[in-house]
Structure 1
Amino acid sequence: MAKSNLVVKTNYLNTVLQNLKLSEIRIVQLAIVDARETGTGLSAEIPLRIDAKRYSEVFNTTRQNGYLMMKDAEDTLFNRRFSYFDDEGKLVKSRWLSQVRYLDDEGAIEVVFTPAVVKGITRIDGAEEFFTKYLLEQTAAMDSNYSVRLYELLVQWKQAKKTPVFELEKFRGQLGLESDEYQTMSNFKKRVLELAVEEINEKSDLNISYTQKKKGRRIVGFSFIILEKKKTKEISVQRNSDNGDMFMVEGLSDKQLGRIARNKQFMADYNHLVSSTSPAGQTEQGWEFEMINRLKKDPTQFTKRPIRDYLDC
């Protein structure tokens, strides 16, 4: 995978209390990646431009949808704040952005990060124990901001394979929850934690599980076991005398695979592959992301008719 898609953040920034929407998280991710890719780095003075075309390519959506999602994030991202503890243990509050501008006629957004963020994000490799690294591709297909935030929190413990206990209230804040959201433990686990764990296990390079820490009968925190998935090569099924074109996906673009995934007959044939509670079963975009990935990695799951037939029906 390309080094240019490596996101690097200091751990203090990665563990801040924050509440970013998914589209806002993605803008921050792209800013980090593009600052590295262009070699310009991040600055508290110079705007960094992010194009809707770039957004759509990375997150596998249309340019128009990328444009709308970025525009929706513009108003709110400027007002977002986060908190962290400095080297002296003092609580510091900061905004993410000091300036944001949407270039309506160009389908682009310009952002300027605050000094605290610039200090916390680097494009330079080094002192790896102080940095959290992950590939943008690992979170690009995720539909929930909770999943992205949980992945970011856990990936820094990947080498250790387990985390310390995350104290409940701080953990909720790190996932971006307000104090009045999902207050009961059953709702928190069902609507936030378990959905995030499921999506991470489905779509990333990690397999995770959690245990809960109790004080009496009350749950006061969670800890996680983190295992890396074994790397597998993408399957490229060739035409042969036995299967003809049945599983043939070579030569099909992501756009064509998207058309296949959206085909009503395809959806009827394979809707059993995802559960109703899975993020892939919640939105059309989530379904499309999931099916494109499955078609590319293991087309032998799709046996009811030749794959290319769904382009015509």
Structure 2
Amino acid sequence: MKDSTLVSKSNALIEAEYTLSLVAQRVIVLAIIEARNQGDLIKAGGLLRIKATEYQQCFDCALPMAYESLRSACDNLYEADFSYWDKDEVGRDKFNKSRFVQKASYVKGGGYVEIMFGSEVIPLITRLSEKYTEYELSQIKDLNSVYALRLFELLMQWQSTGKTAPVLISDLRSKLGVEESHYKQMCDFKKRVLDSAVKEINDNTNIKVKYEQIKEGRKIIAFTFKFTVKKTPKKPVINARDPDTIDIFTGVTDKGVKAFKPMTIGQITFFASLIAKDPSFNSSENGLIAKVGESDKDYQMRVQRSLNDYENQVKWLDYLLKHNFKTE
């Protein structure tokens, strides 16, 4: 993929009700990235070309399978609709039904597909000044089920807290794309949908998630989800030094660093907002240099995404300590 591999969606689209295959959802993700990289073209409702080689590279599959995936995604996307809630001009709740694409083309022997997003979709992936969700493509590339991908996106709305609000069973089923006739029994829903999605996320992404049941009497009526960013495994140190040695960069002993637990989601959000405004951080090669023309909000979000990596938390520990972060 070219340039940024950041996926951005409005929360309305994240929470929309629809049923799509895994490959169709992957193609939408790639198209959103392509739209961002093309800039103004998407605003005019332009065609977005997704190559089989890009699909192969991103999702680690054989090229013939990538070709077939794109072809089947075209059929699925053109037939699929979705529904979502937003507000009218005076703030009243408005229920909308629309289609993902107004055109989907597969070129036989061309090794690519072209899609044109529907007019309702374009503002949901481009006008993201308010409620929206972002994540990197690398975070979902190894997810191989529809339910795991949908659940991961739902969780990413709550990155600042690491905990969701209670989600009613009916809402969760619709947001995960579980068809009405499937897994009606709670034991089947938990086993076939929820538990398998949670396990896949825990095994293949940068977060660790668990859920809690909310009951009314003996009946389960809702779920809440909690998640934390995983600690990145550190490479073994061959030449160890005195654990009480004070590091010249962080001012913390090795013993202190070893006791340094990964930051919580809330800490990452809070301290990202602080160090992003620190001139010694945003202009130093030891920190994260701001890009020319990058807005303060975009830069802060880039710092926040980088802090999800435990190695960066350790690397920037001196800046965190400067803003009263506690390692214990």
**Alignment partner, residue 59 of structure 1:** 59
Change (3 A) 1:82 1:12: same
Q: Is the deviation greater in 42-51 or in 155-164?
A: 42-51
Q: Is the 8 A contact 1:43 1:112 kept in 2?
A: no
Work out whether 1:104 is the aligned partner of 2:108. Answer: yes
Supply the AA of the counterpart residue of 1:12.
A
2:287 equivalent in structure 1: none
1:113 aligns with one of 111, 117, 124: 117
The answer to whether the 8 A contact 2:45-2:122 is kept is no
CA distance in 2, matches of 1:202, 1:72: 27
CA distance in 1, matches of 2:42, 2:217: 47
Q: Which residue of 1 aligns with 2:212?
A: 211
Residue equivalent to 1:226: 227
CA distance in 2, matches of 1:22, 1:36: 22
How far is 1:198 from its partner?
0.4
| Pair 110,236 (structure 1): closer, same or farther in 2 beyond 3 Å | farther
Query: CA shift at 1:18, angstroms?
Result: 1.3
1:9 equivalent in structure 2: 9
Q: 1:120 to 1:213 in 2, by over 3 A?
A: same
- 1:3–1:156 Cα change, 3 Å: farther
- Residue type of the alignment partner of 1:109: V
Query: Equivalent residues in 2 for 1:6-85 (5 A)?
Result: 6-43=6-43, 45-85=45-85
Q: Are residues 237 and 144 of structure 1, via their aligned partners in 2, closer, same or farther at CA, if it must alter by over 3 Å?
A: farther
Check conservation: 1:6, 1:33, Cα contact below 8 A: yes
Report the Cα offset of residue 236 of structure 1.
9.3
Change (3 A) 1:236 1:38: farther
Deviations for 1:253-290, whole angstroms, at most 9, x for unmatched residues?
xxxxxxxxxxxxxxxxxxxxxxxxxxxxxxxxxxxxxx
Letter in 1 for 2:164: T
Q: Provide the C-alpha distance between the structure 2 equivalents of 1:141 and 1:82, rounded to a whole number of angstroms.
A: 25
Mapping 1:230-269, distance limit 5 Å = 230-232=231-233, 235=235
Quote how far apart the aligned CAs of 1:117 are.
0.8
- Aligned equivalents of 1:237, 1:29: Cα separation in 2: 39
Give aligned-pair identity as a percent: 37
Q: Specify the code of the residue in structure 1 equivalent to 2:18.
A: Q
Distance 1:9 1:41, change over 3 A: farther
Q: In structure 2, what is the Cα distance between the partners aligned to 1:40 and 1:62? A: 33
Deviations 1:152-208, CA, capped at 9 Å, x for gaps: 000110211111011111110110011111110000000010000001011111111
> 1: CA distance between counterparts of 2:40 and 2:64?
27
Highest relative contact order (Cα 8 Å, sep 6+), 1 or 2?
1
Counterpart for residue 168 of structure 2 = 167
Unaligned runs of 5+ in 1: 239-313
**Which has the greater radius of gyration?**
2
- Alignment root-mean-square deviation, CA: 2.2
